[in-house]
Amino acid sequence: MNYATEFKKFATSQYIFSAVRITLAIVVPSIILAHFGLLKEYFLFPLATSFVGLTDQPGPFVRRRNSLLLATVCFLFVSVVASLLQNFPILIYFEIIVLGMFFSMLGVYGQRFAAVGSLSLVVMAIFINGHLTGNNIVQSSVIFFAGSVWYILIFMVVSRIQPYKLAAQMIGENYVELADYLSIKSKFYLPDPDFEKLNMQLIAQQVKIKNLQEDTRETVFKTRKIVKEATTTSRLLMLMFLNSIDLHEKLMTSDSDYRKIQKNFGDSGLLITLSEYLTTLANELTNIGIALQGGTKAKPLRDIDEQLDIVFGQYFDLRNRKLNDQNLEHFMVLRLILVRITDVTEELKMMYKVFSSDQKLAKSLSTGLDLSEFIPSRNKLNFQVFRNNFSLKSSQFRHSIRIVLALLIGYFISTFDFLGLGHSYWILITTVAIMRPAYATTKHRNRLRFFGTVAGAVLAYGMLMTIHSGTLLFALLMLNMILCFSFLKANYFWAVLFMTVYIFLSFNFLRPGNVNMIFKDRILDTLIAGIVVFAISYFVLPVWEHTQNLEFMQKSSKSNLRYFETVMEFFKNKDASLQEYKLSRKDAIIDLANLSDNFNRMISDPKNQQKKMEHIHQFVNTAHLITAYTASFAQYPKSAKDYPEIDFDGWARKISAELGRTDKILHQEKFDKEIAKESALQPEDSVERLMEIRRREIRENEISDRRDQNRITHLTELKNLQEILELIYDAAKEQRKGTEKLEPEIQSTIVKT
């Protein structure tokens, strides 16, 4: 691991930038209040600032501003209600039920509203018994409201000063994640790779890329300054993001039969060189991502042309020594892998050119696309959506019931005097922080929360016992706040650890000498909340991932069919809609990632809830292959008319029929015998006849030592095209056979052929 590069990735990321902004917004007024001796009386001010800051999710300026305003209103309302009811224990339970249901149900409108709802419940926990706020309701509510407004002012100022900063950081992060994707692929060429493990890593990385692309797409396409204003910066950012999406497709095209490649060329030494070169390209992509995040111009780290020449030199040497009529096809596959790597190299060089170009390139940029079609769909803000989700069929409604029940139990336990809890509201806060709609996610966060809290408490206790310098402790407080907010989205364990440290240090400044009580309360409250959350999430209306498999499989199957058909149509007719092709690509990648994400969560479910795991795994793998092979097919710059030797109409009917069979099985539609006949078609290709001619030439003549990297024979292209179509069909057929085994009631609709 290159620690310098990892530090740069972290130091220039949106997470550290946001964390510093929130930390300064909290610390600056805290220092001023402390200077005048008012911090203890007005500590709700920086507390509110931190809560509002946590609701500031990445996205377009308007949506971020509106969510901050909504959070401020919600926080004020909750603080007033909770303060008014703090002396009426019976009404507090009613308050938990009503507010808990309402604010947890806000999640039906997306993650942004889910964050506002969750933090509103945290505010309720703080004000629920007056432990922190006292009896002066008006004063505490006004102070809390002022702290919320303070963060909004900071947000408005920073957004005006740096309008492109967030978009640039998110686009840069796309390149960093693509670099990690390519780095994983490079390991397939190393000796004795663990294919299963690497495939799982690829699938997990696909999910990360999909989620990031969705967030970035919304931020870029709905930011008026980027879409509407014709500035050099806005146009170049748009170009870099669109290029990152195209590059993602190019990286997917490098999927091959790695086992066969290792078998045929594993001892040649060339595959190790290929792996090293792909690692170099990954480092260059990371370099571009860091430059975008940091707002600097990227310069190449190494001479990639020179390294590519070395790769080709080894290939040509191997070809001249080993090529014969028996392994011709193997060398064709290897040659096409080099073509794809060369395409990625050219894309990379073009990106560096963009960084160093003048304004003419930026001003010439025009996507020609209706960008509104590419923006992720969100539930509209109307009451009908909210009301329709009040059903046990809704996972969000089930989650709301669980979270209300957990809060009620947690609050009831907190009233037990024999426990001696001095900070009982931590039970409620921890409950809200841990519990998520998916059992697997809740289980994962529960474990990380406990271990992170214990580690952070031990570390903070050691600091307070050994460090007596107020200045040093304050510096550590700021550092831990920044690190906590930085890791909150990326690594929950470390976020909790640093959060625990800064909470200990904060309480030490407010009430010195209570470290033992804080240590005991923090551990005990976290343990109680964890046990309650585990029991509720497991036994009360759980939503197991296997119950959602069918829906995700249906979407993935349908989008892969549409993706293949639009790619084939575009290949046969280059005048076909480019937008339709790109939309189908977007949908296929999103649905594939959602399917993969659901499968990964299913692995964390209890064993008795991992239904049909082997067949679901097979479906996920074949879906990944179908998408990747279709992406390979889409990369051909020429059209069908340039390859009359291949029966593209026959292949289109054959593959579409096989993909359609899977779609029908998943939707439990009646079996159509005609579709089986279509999938059994034998396309009338003449490629094999040409291959036999080439084999005979190799047997009868010596291999010429041609070393033109750009020369690809027509026969090599033909064979590769045919192989890609065969691979798509084989993956589709394997997926269909696996789908037949999933459910008995689905099998009954199938006529065995």
CATH of the domain at 266: 1.20.58
Count of domains forming the chain = 4
Confidence of residue 670 (pLDDT cuts 50, 70, 90): confident
Quickly list DSSP for 229-262.
---HHHHHHHHHHHHHHHHHHHHHTT---HHHHH
Cβ atoms of 553 and 666 closer than 8 Å? yes
CA distance 431 to 530: 7
Q: Alpha-carbon distance 180 to 163, whole Å?
A: 28
Cα separation of 120 and 140, whole Å? 16
Determine phi and psi for 379, rounding to 5 degrees: -65, 130
Rounded to 10 degrees, the C-alpha dihedral 597/599/603/607 comes to: 150
Distance CA 173, CA 167 (A): 10
For 331, the token pair is 């060398």
- Cβ-based neighbours of 744, under 8 Å, separated by 6 or more: none
Local confidence band at 480 (pLDDT 50, 70, 90 cut-offs): very high
Same domain, 147 and 44: yes
Do 619 and 728 lie in one domain? The reply is yes
What's the rounded Cα separation, in Å, for the pair 375 and 555? 18
> 555 and 475, same structural domain?
no
CA distances from 418 to 406, 408, 415 (A): 21, 19, 9
pLDDT higher than threshold 90 for residue 278:
yes
Task: Give the model confidence (pLDDT) of 24-83 as tens digits.
Answer: 999 999 899 888 888 888 888 999 999 999 999 888 888 889 999 999 999 999 999 998
- Least confident residue range of 293-297, 368-372, 632-636: 368-372
Other CB atoms within a 10 A radius of the CB of residue 248 amount to 20
Residue 218 shares a structural domain with residue 259? yes
> Within 10 Å of residue 520's Cβ, how many Cβ atoms?
15
Position 744 confidence tier, pLDDT thresholds 50, 70, 90: very low
595, 620 Cβ separation under 8 angstroms: yes
The C-alpha atoms of residue 672 and residue 385 are separated, in whole angstroms, by 37
Closest CA to 722 of 641, 637, 647: 647
Residue 609, phi then psi, degrees to nearest 5: -105, 5
Which position has the higher pLDDT, 366 or 575?
A: 575
CB 545 within 8 A of CB 605: yes
The pLDDT, as a whole number, for residue 226 is 59
Please tell me the distance from the alpha carbon of residue 643 to that of residue 663, in angstroms, as a whole number. Answer: 30
Predicted confidence at residue 753, as pLDDT, reads 34
Among 123-137, 205-219, 537-551, 649-663, the range scoring the smallest mean pLDDT is 123-137
528 and 414: one domain? yes
**What CA–CA distance (Å, rounded) separates 204 from 600?**
8
Residue 268 lies in a domain: yes
| Mean pLDDT calculated for residue range 427-436 | 92
Distance CA 46, CA 49 (A): 5
Give residue 254's pLDDT.
56
The parent domain of residue 399 ranges over 385-540
At 328 the pLDDT is 79
Q: What is the pLDDT of residues 128-187, one digit of tens each?
A: 877 666 667 888 889 999 999 999 999 999 988 888 888 889 999 999 999 999 999 999
287 plus 326 within the same structural domain: yes
Q: Residues 524, 642: one domain?
A: no
For residue 706, the model assigns a pLDDT of 64
In this structure, what token pair is assigned to residue 248? 């993602």
719 and 624 in contact (C-beta within 8 Å)?
no
Residue 379 lies in a domain: no
Assess if residue 625 is contained within a domain.
yes
Q: Which amino acid is at 493?
A: F
Helices 492-510/439-466 angle, 10° precision? 40
* Nearest residue to 485 via CA among 1, 9, 25: 25
AA identity, residue 121: L
Q: Which pair of tokens denotes residue 150?
A: 């303070």
Q: By the 8 A CB rule, do 86 and 93 touch?
A: no
For residue 307, tell me if it sits in a domain: yes
Do 302 and 241 belong together in one domain? yes
Is the same domain home to 108 and 77?
yes
CA dist., res. 93 & res. 119, Å (int):
19
470: exposed, middle or buried (Cβ count in 10 Å: 0-12, 13-18, 19+) = exposed
For CA atoms 371, 376, 382, 384, the dihedral sign is positive
Same domain, 72 and 216: no
Residue 374 lies in a domain: no
Dist CA 745 CA 611 (whole Å): 15
Asked whether residue 436 is domain-assigned, the answer is yes
Q: What is the pLDDT at residue 667?
A: 82
Q: Is 46 helix (H, G, I), strand (E, B) or coil?
A: helix
Final residue of a structural domain among 500, 515, 540: 540
Looking at the chain, the whole-number percentage of residues with pLDDT higher than 70 is: 89
Residues 171, 155 share a domain:
no
Residue that terminates a domain, selected from 516, 540, 564: 540
- In-domain check, residue 376: no
Q: Are residues 446 and 565 in the same domain?
A: no
| Among candidate residues 486, 512, 540, the one where a domain is terminated | 540
The answer to whether the beta carbons of residues 414 and 428 sit under 8 Å apart is yes
pLDDT-derived band at 452 (thresholds 50, 70, 90) equals very high
Answer yes or no: is 377 within a domain: no
H or E element: which one contains 316?
Answer: helix 304-322
